[in-house]
Homo-oligomer: A and B are copies of this chain.
Amino acid sequence: MPSKCSLKPRKLPQQERSRLTVEAILEATTHILTEKGYDKTNTNLIAERAGVSIGSLYQYFPNKKSLIVALREEHSKEIAELLAAKFNHLFDSPPEIAIPELVKAVIAVHAINPRLHQVLSEEIPYSERSQQQMQKTDEQITELLRAYLERWRERFALFDRDRLRPQNIEMTIFIINRTVESLCHSAVIEHPQFVSDSQFEQEVSNLLMSYLIKKPD
Contact = CB atoms under 8 A, between A and B. Distances in A.
Contacts of A166: 199, 203
A203 B121 CA distance: 26
Nearest to A186: B178
A206 B203 CA distance: 16
Instruction: Tell me whether chain A's interface is mostly helix, strand or loop, or mixed.
Output: helix
Measured as residues with beta carbon below 8 angstroms from the partner, the interface class of chain A is 35 or more
Given A127-B37, A211-B210, A171 B122 contact: no
Contacts of A187: 174
A206 B199 contact: no
A202 B164 contact: yes
Contacts of A122: 121-122, 126
A39 interface: yes
B200 A211 contact: no
Given A39-B125, A125-B38, A125-B123, A200 B171 contact: yes
A191 interface: yes
Contacts of A207: 175, 179, 207, 211
Nearest to A36: B127
